[in-house]
C-alpha cells in the first residue's frame, strides 16, 4: 500500500508536450498516421542511443502519448529504429528484419553511427551505414541524440 | 423482434467498446505510472492502421494460420450474441448456456494455439504449450463456478442466472456467491492473459504466453487477433459483472430498458477495467510454474462455493 | 418380417462367407472382397440394431445350434443400441481394411488376419444379442480369441507386438474368468441361465449375492472396457495392432464392456444400492483423469489414442455410475439423463475414435512411424487425412460444435442438477464428478492440440514425414463416411432421442431429451442448439474472412521470423514431448517421470566429454506399483512350483495316487 501512497505523492511526471513537429514526407507516412509501432534493431551500437531511446519512452518524455509504441516482433512493426553502424555480423539480420516487417515499413536511422558510421567509420567490423542495407526514411543526428529529438522524429511519423 | 435486436446489437456494442476498454485500462495504467498516456481512442487508431497493412503468412504455415483469426473473432461475436450483457432477452440466449459459452471460449483458444503451432517457430510452440496448460487448469474452476451459479438459479442458462440475481438480490451476497465470484475472477484473469498470470505488455518472449502465439501475425490478421483479445476481455468482465451484480440489465423487452442496460454495461466495464488496470500496476507477474498453484487455489474456492450452495441452502 | 432377425442373420451369413473367402481367395482380391463382405455384415447389423431401437424386439431360442445349452437370442432396445454401434463401426472398418490391408498376402492381408476379421465382427454382433449366460460367454470368448489373432498380425515387426499380445491374452482371459464366475453364480442362484429367468428371480436374491455378482461382473466387464486399474493391456494392444483392428477394438469392443455393466446392473439385477454405483463412478473418474494425463504425455500417436479410449471409458462409466446413484436416490429423471449421456457418449466415441484411428493408420502407412516427434508437415503432403484428423480431434476434445461436446454437456447437466434434492453422498459426489469431467476435458483439449498440432502442422521433422503420400481411395472413403457420422451426431444429436428414451425407460423418468437440432431437456431447464452454434460460427468466420480478403491488402508469403538467424529448420519446432512438458511438470507427483543422463568421456582424457545421452520416460505408474509386484510374485510362485516336477516318475505316480484317494474319500463322505 506504500506503493499507492508513492503514486499519489509523485503525481504526473511527464513533461508537457512540445509543439507538434513537421510531418515526415512520404506516402508510407500517411498510412501510419496516429499510430506507429516501432521495432528497435541494434545493428552494432555502443548502447548510448539505446539509453536515450529508453528515456524517450520513460515517464518524463512519454513517447506513448503520441501513439508510438515499442513492439517485440518486426511483424507488428510500422517502423524500424536502427542504431549503431551496421557491423558485419548484423548486416544479414538487419536485412531479414526489414524483410519480415509488413509493408509499408519506415526506417529511422538513429544517431550519427547509423547515418554515416560516426566515430566507428572504417573499423574492421563495420560494414557500412544503415542506408547501405535498407532504405532510410528519417535520420536523427546526434551522438547520442537527445530524447527530445528522438520523440520529435517519431512524432514526425505519427503526426501527433 | 426485440430479441433479435439484442442478439445483433450486443456483438456490435462489444466490438465498439472492447478497444475503448483496452484504451481506458492503458490510460489508467499510464496515469498511475506518472505518464500522460495515449488516450482512450488509441487502440482503435492502432486497429485502423493495422487493417490497412499487408498480412504475412510464414512459408510453412497452412490453412490453419489464415483461418484462426476469423474463427477467434467469430467465437467472440457468438458469445457476445448469447451472453446477457445488455439484456437477458437475446434471441440466441436460449440456444446455449454457460457450459456452451465456456466451450466456445476454449474453442477460440484452441484455434489460436493451433495457428501458433502451424508457424513452426519455437516461440509459437512455446506460447501454445503454455496457453493449453493454463487453459486445461482453468476449465475445472470455470465449470465448478458455473455449477455454483446454476445451483443458485436452478439452471445453467445465463439468462436464468442473471434473472435470478435480479429477482433475488439477497442470494448475491451469500457465501456461495462471493466465493464463486472470487474463483471466477481469478479464472477470468488466467483466461484473458492478464496479470498476474501473463503480462500483455511484455517484450520478453520467454515470459510470454498469449503474445508468443501472435508474434508471426501481421496486418489485418493481427488486427483481428487484437480485436478478439479485447472482445474476450470485455465479454468476460461483462459476464462477471452481470452474474454477480446484475443491476441495470434489461430483463424485459422495451427500448428504454435496453438503453439503460447498455449504459449499465459501460459503467460496469469502466469500473472493472479501472480496478484491473490499477491491480496490474501494483501486482507482479507470477512465475509460470507458480500459476498452477494460483489456479488450484481458485479451484478450491469454487469447490467451497458449490459446497456452500448445498450446505447453506 | 422381423428386421432384427433378418439383419442379424444376414450379418452372420456375410461374415461367414467373408471368412471363407479369406481362406480361399488369392492375395490380389483377398483384402478388397473380405473388406466389402465385412462392411456388408456391418451394414446388416446396423439395420438390425436400428430396427431394434425403433421398437422391434426379437426373442428366439435355438437349442440345436450348440450342444448342452443351445443358443438364446434376446434383442431389445439396449441390445439394439450396441448392435447398431458395432455394425456401424464394422461397416467403416470393412471399407477401410479393403485399402489398408494391402495386396501382399502377408501381415494384415494374410489368410488368418482376413479370416479373423469377419469372425471378430460376428462375435461382437452376437454379444449384445445374447439372451442367456452361455451364449453371452461363448460369444465373448470368441470375440476375445479372434481379436487376439488380429492383434498379433504384425508379430514379425518386433518384440513389442508379442509383448502386447501376451498382456492382452492374459488380461482378457482373467477378465473372462471373473465374468464367468459372476454370471454362473447368478445363474445358479436364480435357477436358470436365460436372461428372462435371471431377471425374474434376481430381486429375490440376498444382498450379499447381488453385491458379489455385481462387483465381480462389473470388474470383468470394466476390464474389457479398459477401466483403471485393469487398463495396461489397452495402450499396448491398441497401439501394436494394425489400425483397422485398433479402430474396431477401441470403438466397438470396449463399448461391449459398458453394455455388460448396463445389462447386468440395470436390467438383470434391476438396480442396486448406492455403494455399487459409487465404486463404478469412482473407477470411471479415476480412469478418465489417469487416461487423459497419460494421453497428454504420450508421443506415440496410437498410444495417445488408446489412452484417450481409457479416458472416454472412464467418462462413460462415470455416467453409468451417476445414473445408478440417481436411480437409487429416487431421482429417475436425472438417472435417465445420465444413462442417456453415457450411451450417447459410447456412440460419439465410436464415431470419432474410429476416424482418429483411420487417420492415424493412414499416417503410419505413409510414413512408417508412430512417433509424433518425428512427424509434422503432413498438412501439405496428406491434406485430406489432415482435415479428417482435425475434424476427429475437434470432436474428441469435446469442443463445441463437435459431437463429443453434446454427450459431455448432457453428463454435466445431469450432475449439475443433482444438488437441490440430493442425498448427502450425492451432494459430495456430484461436485467431484463435475470437477473430474472438467479437468478431463481441459487436459483432453491439450492432448489433442498436441496430437494434431505437432503431428500434422508446420514442417516435417524427419525424412519419413517429408516423403509421405496421401492415403488410398478406400481409406479416404472410410474416413469421409466416419466424418459424416461425426457431423450428423454433432449437428442433429436429437435423432437418437427416441431410441434413448426407449432404453432409459428401464430406470424410469420419462424421455430425457427432445428436439433434433435443438436439444431440449424436459426434466431440467436446459437447452443447447448445436445447429445455431455451427451455423453462427460458419457464417461469422466465413463472412469475416471474405470481407477481409476483399477489402484488405493481398497476402504475402515470407520465411518465418527467426530473430534474424539463418533459415529455420525443423529443429526449431516444438516437439510433442516439449509441448507436454509444462503439463508434465504440473502433474509431476502423479506421473513420476524418469530421467536418465549418460555422459561418456573420451578414452584419452576424462575431462573431455564425447557424448551426452538424455532419456526421459513417463512410465505407467499404476502398472509399476500394481502389476510388477504381482507378476514378480507369480514368477516366484512358478519357480517354487517347479520343484514339484523334478522328473521322477515315482513322484508323479504318487501325486496321482494321493489325488485319487482324496477324491474317493471326499465322494464317500458327502
C70 pLDDT band, cuts 50/70/90, is confident
C225 pLDDT band, cuts 50/70/90, is very high
Gap between the Cα atoms of B27 and C455, Å rounded? 43
Average pLDDT over every residue of B150-171: 89
Q: Do A110 and A130 meet the contact criterion of CB atoms below 8 Å apart? A: no
Strand C609-617 to C594-601 pairing: antiparallel
Domains by residue range for chain A, with CATH: 25-158 (3.40.50.12280)
C87: pLDDT strictly greater than 70: yes
Mean pLDDT by 10 residues, chain A (160 residues): 89 90 84 90 95 95 93 95 95 94 93 93 93 94 95 92
Coil, helix or strand for C527? strand
Average pLDDT over every residue of C199-207: 89
Residue C524, CA distances (Å) to B240, C336, C339, C468 in order = 25, 12, 15, 50
First to last CA, chain C: 54
Q: Which of B22, B42, B217, B225 to mutate to test the interface with A (most CBs of A within 10 A)?
A: B42
- Report yes or no on C220 lying in a domain: no
C83: pLDDT strictly greater than 70: yes
Q: Where are the domains of chain B?
A: 2-311
Report pLDDT for A37.
Answer: 95
- Report yes or no on C632 lying in a domain: yes
First to last CA, chain B: 38
- pLDDT per residue as tens digits for the range C524-572: 888 999 999 999 999 999 999 999 989 889 999 998 998 888 778 888 8
Q: Do C59 and C117 meet the contact criterion of CB atoms below 8 Å apart? A: no
- Report yes or no on C633 lying in a domain: yes
Answer whether B152 touches C (CB < 8 Å).
Answer: no
- Report yes or no on C286 lying in a domain: no
Please name the helix (run of DSSP H) or strand (run of DSSP E) that holds residue A107, with its range, or none.
strand A106-110
C36: pLDDT strictly greater than 80: yes
Coil, helix or strand for C132? strand
- Report yes or no on C304 lying in a domain: no
C510: pLDDT strictly greater than 90: no
Global pTM value = 0.94
Q: Which of B67, B140, B155 sits opposite C525 (nearest CB)?
A: B155
Percent with pLDDT over 70 in chain C:
100
Report pLDDT for C516.
Answer: 84
φ, ψ of residue B222 to 5 degrees: the values are: -65, -40
Average pLDDT over every residue of C233-248: 94
Indicate the number of domains in chain C. Answer: 1
For residue C651, the enclosing domain spans 621-669
Q: Closest chain C residue to A74 measured between Cα atoms?
A: C561
- Report yes or no on C555 lying in a domain: no
Contact flag C564-A94 (C-beta cutoff 8 Å):
yes
Contacts of B52 (CB under 8 A, 6+ apart): A31, B220, C552, C553
- pLDDT per residue as tens digits for the range C601-616: 999 988 999 999 999 8
C386 pLDDT band, cuts 50/70/90, is very high
Average pLDDT over every residue of C135-141: 95
Answer whether B216 touches C (CB < 8 Å).
Answer: yes
ipTM of the complex in this document: 0.95
Residue C559 backbone class (left: φ over 0; alpha: ψ -120 to 50; beta: rest): beta
Q: Closest chain B residue to C380 measured between Cα atoms?
A: B62
C428 pLDDT band, cuts 50/70/90, is confident
Average pLDDT over every residue of C399-416: 94
A126–chain B nearest CA distance, Å:
28
B313 pLDDT band, cuts 50/70/90, is low
C458–chain A nearest CA distance, Å:
18
Contact flag B62-C457 (C-beta cutoff 8 Å):
yes
Q: Do C116 and C241 meet the contact criterion of CB atoms below 8 Å apart? A: no
Contact flag C564-A97 (C-beta cutoff 8 Å):
yes
Strand A126-128 to C556-558 pairing: unpaired
C243: pLDDT strictly greater than 90: yes
Q: Do C488 and C480 meet the contact criterion of CB atoms below 8 Å apart? A: no
C154 pLDDT band, cuts 50/70/90, is confident
C1: pLDDT strictly greater than 70: no
Report pLDDT for C632.
Answer: 96
Q: Closest chain C residue to B50 measured between Cα atoms?
A: C552
Q: What average pLDDT is seen over chain C?
A: 92
Average pLDDT over every residue of B76-98: 90
Reply yes or no: is the peptide bond before residue C229 cis, omega within 30 of 0.
yes
Reply yes or no: is the peptide bond before residue C492 cis, omega within 30 of 0.
no
DSSP states along B108-172: HHHHHHHHHHHTT-HHHHHHHHHHHHHHHHHHHHHHHHHHHHHHHHTS--HHHHHHHHHH-GGGG
Report pLDDT for C350.
Answer: 97
Please name the helix (run of DSSP H) or strand (run of DSSP E) that holds residue A127, with its range, or none.
strand A126-128
- pLDDT per residue as tens digits for the range A65-104: 999 999 999 999 999 999 999 999 999 999 999 999 998 8
Average pLDDT over every residue of C55-81: 88
Cell, residue A27: 506516402
Amino acid at each position: 500500500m506504500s506503493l499507492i501512497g508513492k503514486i499519489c505523492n509523485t503525481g504526473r511526471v511527464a513533461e508537457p508536450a512540445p509543439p507538434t513537429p513537421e510531418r515526415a514526407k512520404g506516402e508510407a507516412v500517411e498510412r501510419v498516421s496516429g499510430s506507429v509501432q516501432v521495432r528497435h534493431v541494434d545493428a552494432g551500437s555502443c548502447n548510448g542511443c539505446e539509453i536515450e531511446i529508453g528515456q524517450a519512452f520513460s515517464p518524463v518524455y512519454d513517447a506513448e502519448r503520441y501513439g508510438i509504441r515499442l513492439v517485440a516482433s518486426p511483424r507488428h512493426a510500422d517502423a524500424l529504429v536502427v542504431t549503431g553502424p551496421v557491423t558485419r555480423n548484423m548486416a544479414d539480420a538487419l536485412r531479414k528484419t526489414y524483410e519480415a516487417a509488413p509493408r509499408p515499413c519506415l526506417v529511422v536511422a538513429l544517431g550519427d553511427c547509423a547515418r554515416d558510421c560516426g566515430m566507428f567509420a572504417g573499423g574492421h567490423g563495420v560494414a557500412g551505414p544503415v542506408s547501405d542495407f535498407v532504405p532510410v526514411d528519417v535520420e536523427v543526428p546526434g551522438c547520442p541524440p537527445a530524447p527530445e529529438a528522438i520523440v520529435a522524429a517519431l512524432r514526425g511519423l505519427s503526426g501527433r | 423482434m426485440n430479441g433479435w435486436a439484442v442478439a445483433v446489437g450486443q456483438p456490435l456494442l462489444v466490438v465498439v467498446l472492447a478497444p475503448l476498454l483496452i484504451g481506458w485500462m492503458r490510460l489508467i495504467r499510464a496515469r498511475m505510472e506518472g505518464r500522460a498516456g495515449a488516450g482512450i481512442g488509441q487502440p482503435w487508431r492502432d486497429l485502423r492502421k493495422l487493417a490497412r497493412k499487408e498480412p504475412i503468412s510464414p512459408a510453412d504455415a497452412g490453412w490453419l494460420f489464415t483461418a484462426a483469426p476469423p474463427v477467434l473473432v467469430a467465437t467472440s461475436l457468438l458469445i457476445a450474441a448469447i451472453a446477457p450483457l445488455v439484456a437477458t432477452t437475446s434471441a440466441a440466449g436460449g440456444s446455449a448456456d454457460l457450459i456452451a459459452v465456456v466451450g466456445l471460449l476454449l474453442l477460440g483458444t484452441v484455434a489460436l494455439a493451433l495457428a501458433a503451432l502451424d508457424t513452426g517457430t519455437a516461440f509459437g510452440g512455446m506460447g501454445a504449450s503454455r496457453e493449453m496448460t493454463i487453459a486445461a487448469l482453468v476449465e475445472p474452476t470455470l465449470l465448478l463456478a458455473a455449477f455454483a451459479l446454476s445451483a443458485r438459479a436452478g439452471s445453467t442458462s445465463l439468462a436464468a442466472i442473471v434473472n435470478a440475481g435480479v429477482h433475488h438480490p439477497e442470494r448475491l451476497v451469500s457465501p456461495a456467491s462471493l466465493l464463486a465470484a472470487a474463483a471466477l475472477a481469478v479464472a477470468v484473469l488466467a483466461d484473458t492473459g492478464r496479470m498476474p498470470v501473463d503480462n500483455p505488455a511484455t517484450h520478453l518472449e520467454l515470459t510470454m504466453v498469449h503474445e508468443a502465439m501472435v508474434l508471426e501475425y501481421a496486418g489485418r490478421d493481427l488486427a483481428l487477433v487484437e480485436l478478439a483479445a479485447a472482445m474476450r476481455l470485455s465479454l468476460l468482465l461483462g459476464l462477471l459483472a452481470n452474474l454477480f451484480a446484475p443491476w441495470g440489465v434489461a430483463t424485459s423487452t422495451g427500448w428504454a430498458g435496453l438503453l439503460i442496460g447498455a449504459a449499465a454495461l459501460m459503467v460496469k466495464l469502466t469500473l472493472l477495467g479501472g480496478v484491473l488496470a490499477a491491480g496490474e500496476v501494483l501486482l507482479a507477474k507470477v512465475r509460470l510454474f507458480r500459476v498452477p498453484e494460483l489456479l488450484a487455489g481458485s479451484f478450491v474456492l469454487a469447490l467451497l462455493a458449490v459446497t456452500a450452495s448445498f450446505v447453506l441452502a | 418380417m422381423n428386421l432384427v432377425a433378418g439383419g442379424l442373420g444376414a450379418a452372420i451369413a456375410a461374415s461367414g462367407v467373408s471368412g471363407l473367402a479369406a481362406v480361399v481367395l488369392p492375395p490380389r482380391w483377398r483384402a478388397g472382397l473380405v473388406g466389402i463382405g465385412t462392411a456388408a455384415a456391418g451394414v446388416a447389423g446396423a439395420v438390425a440394431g436400428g430396427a431394434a431401437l425403433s421398437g422391434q424386439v426379437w426373442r428366439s431360442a435355438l437349442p440345436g445350434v450348440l450342444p448342452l445349452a443351445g443358443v438364446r437370442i434376446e434383442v431389445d432396445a439396449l441390445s439394439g443400441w450396441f448392435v447398431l454401434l458395432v455394425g456401424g463401426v464394422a461397416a467403416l472398418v470393412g471399407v477401410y481394411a479393403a485399402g489398408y490391408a494391402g495386396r501382399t498376402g502377408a501381415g494384415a492381408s494374410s489368410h488368418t488376419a482376413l479370416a479373423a476379421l469377419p469372425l471378430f465382427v460376428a462375435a461382437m454382433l452376437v454379444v449384445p444379442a445374447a439372451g442367456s449366460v452361455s451364449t453371452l460367454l461363448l460369444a465373448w470368448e470368441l470375440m476375445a480369441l479372434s481379436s487376439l489373432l488380429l492383434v498379433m498380425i504384425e508379430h514379425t515387426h518386433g518384440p513389442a507386438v508379442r509383448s502386447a499380445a501376451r498382456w492382452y491374452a492374459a488380461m482378457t482371459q482373467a477378465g473372462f474368468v471373473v465374468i464367468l464366475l459372476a454370471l454362473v453364480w447368478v445363474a445358479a442362484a436364480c435357477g436358470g441361465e436365460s436372461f428372462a429367468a435371471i431377471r425374474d428371480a434376481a430381486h429375490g436374491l440376498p444382498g450379499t449375492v447381488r453385491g458379489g455378482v455385481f462387483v465381480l461382473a462389473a470388474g470383468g466387464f470394466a476390464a474389457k472396457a479398459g477401466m483403471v486399474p485393469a487398463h495396461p493391456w489397452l495402450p499396448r494392444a491398441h497401439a501394436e495392432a494394425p489400425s483397422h483392428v485398433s479402430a474396431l477394438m477401441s470403438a466397438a469392443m470396449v463399448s461391449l464392456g459398458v453394455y455388460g455393466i448396463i445389462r447386468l446392473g440395470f436390467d438383470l439385477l434391476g438396480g442396486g444400492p448406492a455403494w455399487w454405483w459409487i465404486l463404478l463412478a469412482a473407477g470411471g473418474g479415476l480412469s478418465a483423469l489417469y487416461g487423459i494425463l497419460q494421453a497428454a504425455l504420450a508421443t506415440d500417436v496410437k498410444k495417445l489414442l488408446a489412452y484417450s479410449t481409457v479416458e472416454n471409458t472412464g467418462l462413460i462409466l462415470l455416467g453409468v455410475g451417476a445414473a445408478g446413484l440417481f436411480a437409487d436416490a429416487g431421482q429417475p429423471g436425472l438417472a435417465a439423463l445420465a444413462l442417456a449421456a453415457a450411451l450417447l457418449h459410447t456412440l460419439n466415441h465410436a464415431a470419432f475414435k474410429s476416424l482418429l484411428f483411420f487417420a492415424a493408420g493412414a499416417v503410419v502407412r505413409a510414413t512408417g512411424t508412430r512417433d509424433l516427434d518425428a512427424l509434422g508437415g503432413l498438412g501439405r503432403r496428406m491434406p485430406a487425412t489432415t482435415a479428417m484428423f482435425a475434424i476427429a480431434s475437434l470432436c474428441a476434445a469435446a469442443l463445441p460444435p463437435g459431437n463429443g461436446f453434446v454427450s459431455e454437456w448432457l453428463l454435466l447437466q445431469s450432475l449439475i442438477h443433482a444438488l437441490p434434492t440430493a442425498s448427502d453422498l450425492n451432494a459430495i459426489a456430484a461436485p467431484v464428478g463435475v470437477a473430474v469431467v472438467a479437468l478431463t476435458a481441459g487436459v483432453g483439449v491439450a492432448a489433442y492440440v498436441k496430437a494434431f498440432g505437432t503431428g500434422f502442422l508446420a514442417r516435417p521433422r524427419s525424412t519419413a514425414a517429408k516423403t509421405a503420400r496421401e492415403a488410398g481411395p478406400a481409406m479416404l472413403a472410410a474416413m469421409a463416411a466416419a466424418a459424416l457420422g461425426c457431423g450428423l451426431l454433432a449437428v442433429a444429436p436429437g435423432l437418437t432421442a427416441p431410441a434413448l428414451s426407449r432404453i432409459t425407460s428401464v430406470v424410469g423418468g420419462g424421455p430425457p431429451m427432445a428436439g433434433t437440432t435443438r436439444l431440449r431437456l424436459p426434466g431440467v431447464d436446459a437447452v443447447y442448439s448445436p445447429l445455431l452454434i455451427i451455423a453462427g460460427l460458419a457464417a461469422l468466420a466465413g463472412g469475416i474472412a471474405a470481407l477481409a480478403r476483399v477489402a484488405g491488402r493481398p497476402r504475402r508469403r515470407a520465411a518465418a521470423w527467426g530473430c534474424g538467424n539463418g533459415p529455420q529448420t525443423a529443429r526449431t519446432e516444438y516437439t510433442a514431448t516439449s509441448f507436454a512438458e509444462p503439463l508434465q511438470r504440473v502433474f509431476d507427483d502423479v506421473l513420476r517421470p524418469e530421467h536418465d543422463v549418460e555422459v561418456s568421456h573420451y578414452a584419452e582424457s576424462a575431462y573431455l566429454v564425447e557424448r551426452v545421452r538424455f532419456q526421459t520416460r513417463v512410465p505407467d505408474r499404476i502398472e509399476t506399483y500394481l502389476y510388477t509386484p504381482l507378476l514378480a510374485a507369480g514368477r516366484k510362485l512358478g519357480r517354487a512350483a517347479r520343484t514339484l516336477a523334478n522328473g521322477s516318475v515315482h513322484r508323479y505316480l504318487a501325486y496321482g495316487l494321493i489325488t485319487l484317494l482324496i477324491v474317493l474319500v471326499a465322494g464317500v463322505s458327502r
